[in-house]
Amino acid sequence: MRRLESKSLVLLHHHLKALRLPTFGTECEAFAARAAHDNADHLTYLLHLSEAELLERERKAAERRLKAARFPVLKSLESFDFAARPSVNRVLVAELARGAFIDARENVLLVGNPGTGKTHLAIGLAAAACSKGYRVRFYRVTELVTLLIEARDERALLGLKGRLAKLDLLVLDEFGYVPASKVGAELLFDVVSTAYERTSLMVTTNLPFDHWTEVLGSERLTGATLDRLTHRCQIIETKGESYRLKDAKVFQNLATSRKKDVDERAAEEEFNLRKPTDDDYVALGELRQQEAVAATRHLGLRPQDVHFLGFPDGGLAELWRAHWLRTQPYTSPYTREESPPYPGAVNPDADYDGMDLTSVIARVLEDFRPTVVVIPHPYDRHPDHVHTTYFVTEAVQHLRGRGVLSPTLTVLTYLVHFPSWPAKRGPLFDRFLPIAGLPDSAWVETELTPEELTAKRAALEEYRSQLEVMNGFLRSFLCRNEIFATLDANVLSRIASIH
Ligand code: ADP
Ligand code: MG
């Protein structure tokens, strides 16, 4: 057979490009060689080549849909351990994975405690839908509510709702974390009712139905939302213990071993059942979040008013020092994550870099507009504490510059790690005394009422994972008073001028 001249080959590639047949372009020569070898006729050659083009096109489209769905992580149904979660009906999940519920505009509700695999199943099912050609978008509910409110303020609500209306499946993860603002609840309800019988919804929640009023605020709205959601709906209950925390032994050991020195830890690991995995570390973070929510509840805060940024333990100094720019996020040596892996993080899309951390902090401050900010003392000996203060100061300075925060904003600092602090003088519940040897600080004091002290003690008791590691140290903070330092203004402005 006569071969195509190389000049004509160039022309062929040009035509294929103009016709938008990229796989023809990359494969035509290899396929031609194979056809010659197999003695295949021209039509068979063309058939194989066009099949390859089609397959590649479908693969790319599925990839695009998967990307457009914006899953926080990719999880598959294959990696779901059904044996560990007997309440989940495997047959039902397999049936849902075929996607017929989407054609029928039915909803799926996944209900269960934290860590029981709701998000995993939701992502697995939604990813299966993507590969079947459905248009899917995943949102954490807090994220969607924020977007809706922003869009409304910027008069872009119609556009956002238009984009939502184009979806086949809308995943709403973590219904329990919805802020109780009336506007937010109404906008969310609007999304649910617009989707009704047009777009399938997949909702995960750890809230039993009788708690939904707390989230949505009004009986009427709750009733109407539940009505729309559960009409033509499959419910999957993930009953039982958290999947990640089920190996309590490894877990406890992990909490302890984080604080031990390296030799001891190595020795311990040698005798241990298994080394902590990245997932164990994420689980520890999640547990500490849950403990913090329980603790702050004793102090009168509602869970929806507690925000977690989800930045890496032991990594803040590195973010400040060598991972400031977005080009090079920091990887946590523990969780192996480059961005917050925790449910309900303020911005799960932020990366572990200084700029992103500063902007996440600024966002929280801008939303709340505080008149008092309480941060660690910048001369604390713990790098995470110190750098928390650096980042907050940076964000505050920026917002002051924009006139969002007042120049008279009060900044108070507290001390945790410092030599011979808290000074254990007298009985446990005595007073804190101002710390000698800490320059640039003026101390202010507030006396706790007996009820406040009781609440503080109850809050402290919630930090079980921490009490195991540093019981005595934590309890030494149970004093009758609290002391805070105000800093010389020069110190803070110096900090903010570094970057
Ligand atoms: P939830 O959304 O219910 O809080 P997740 O789906 O986030 O829980 O699960 C927590 C972690 O445990 C995830 O990493 C998830 O992949 C894993 N996981 C949970 N259940 C299972 C399971 N049955 N099989 C495999 N991994 C699971
Ligand atoms: Mg979840």
Question: Comparing 110-124, 142-156, 438-452, which segment has the lowest mean pLDDT?
Answer: 438-452
Question: Which ligand is in closest contact with the Cα of 76?
Answer: 1
Share of the chain above pLDDT 90, in %: 44
Return d(Cα 421, Cα 419) in angstroms, integer.
5
The string of pLDDT tens digits covering residues 360-386 is: 999 899 888 998 999 999 888 888 899
Residue 420 pLDDT level (bands cut at 50, 70, 90): confident
CA nearest ligand 1 atom 21, residue: 117
| 249 compared with 428, residue with greater pLDDT | 428
| 422 compared with 118, residue with greater pLDDT | 118
Same domain flag for 277 and 331: no
Which amino acid, 364?
V
pLDDT exceeds cutoff 90 at 129: yes
pLDDT for res 276: 67
Same domain flag for 152 and 200: yes
Q: Is 176 in the pocket of ligand 1 (CB under 6 A)?
A: no
Cross-sheet strand order for the sheet of 200-205? 136-140, 169-173, 200-205, 107-112, 233-238
| 327 compared with 209, residue with greater pLDDT | 327
| 436 compared with 443, residue with greater pLDDT | 443
Same domain flag for 290 and 313: no
Q: Is 116 in the pocket of ligand 1 (CB under 6 A)?
A: yes
The string of pLDDT tens digits covering residues 132-171 is: 999 999 999 988 998 999 999 999 999 999 999 999 999 9
| 298 compared with 165, residue with greater pLDDT | 165
Same domain flag for 482 and 349: yes
| 83 compared with 251, residue with greater pLDDT | 83
Same domain flag for 30 and 151: no
| Residue 165, domain CATH | 3.40.50.300
- Cβ-based neighbours of 113, under 8 Å, separated by 6 or more: 206, 238, 239, 240, 241, 242
pLDDT for res 261: 47
User: Would 40 be classed as within a structural domain?
Assistant: yes
Residues 205 and 111: beta-carbon distance below 8 Å: yes
The string of pLDDT tens digits covering residues 254-291 is: 555 555 444 444 444 443 445 567 777 787 788 888 88
Return d(Cα 271, Cα 59) in angstroms, integer.
47
Question: Comparing 59-73, 189-203, 295-309, 460-474, which segment has the lowest mean pLDDT?
Answer: 460-474
| 271 compared with 330, residue with greater pLDDT | 330
Same domain flag for 327 and 277: no
Same domain flag for 150 and 270: no
Q: Is 289 in the pocket of ligand 1 (CB under 6 A)?
A: no
pLDDT exceeds cutoff 90 at 419: no
Same domain flag for 58 and 172: no
pLDDT for res 254: 57
Give the CA angle between residues 306, 311, 316 to the nearest 5°: 125
Same domain flag for 337 and 458: yes
User: Would 70 be classed as within a structural domain?
Assistant: no
User: Would 375 be classed as within a structural domain?
Assistant: yes
pLDDT for res 271: 39
φ/ψ of residue 490, rounded to 5: -60, -35
Going from the Cα of 459 to the center of ligand 2, the distance in angstroms, rounded, reads: 25
Domain boundary among 221, 238, 255: 238
Domain boundary among 206, 221, 238: 238
Residues 401 and 407: beta-carbon distance below 8 Å: no
Same domain flag for 60 and 168: no
pLDDT for res 427: 54
Q: Is 244 in the pocket of ligand 1 (CB under 6 A)?
A: yes
User: Would 152 be classed as within a structural domain?
Assistant: yes
Residue 26 pLDDT level (bands cut at 50, 70, 90): very high
Q: Mean pLDDT across the chain, nearest whole number?
A: 85
- Cβ-based neighbours of 97, under 8 Å, separated by 6 or more: 77, 124, 125, 128
User: Would 372 be classed as within a structural domain?
Assistant: yes
Going from the Cα of 17 to the center of ligand 2, the distance in angstroms, rounded, reads: 44
pLDDT exceeds cutoff 90 at 29: yes
User: Would 118 be classed as within a structural domain?
Assistant: yes
Q: Is 276 in the pocket of ligand 1 (CB under 6 A)?
A: no
Pocket test for ligand 1, best of 89, 90, 120 (most atoms within 8 A of CB): 120
What atom in ligand 1 is closest to the CA of residue 85?
Answer: 23
Same domain flag for 214 and 95: yes
User: Would 71 be classed as within a structural domain?
Assistant: no
Cα 83 to chain centroid distance, Å, stands at 27
**What is the domain range of residue 384?**
302-496
User: Would 216 be classed as within a structural domain?
Assistant: yes
Return d(Cα 41, Cα 39) in angstroms, integer.
7
Q: Is 243 in the pocket of ligand 1 (CB under 6 A)?
A: yes
| 69 compared with 446, residue with greater pLDDT | 69
Question: Which ligand is in closest contact with the Cα of 125?
Answer: 1
**What is the arithmetic mean of pLDDT over 420-444?**
75
Same domain flag for 276 and 164: no
The string of pLDDT tens digits covering residues 189-199 is: 899 999 988 99
- How many domains does one find in the chain? 4
| 101 compared with 6, residue with greater pLDDT | 101
Question: Comparing 116-120, 224-228, 418-422, which segment has the lowest mean pLDDT?
Answer: 418-422
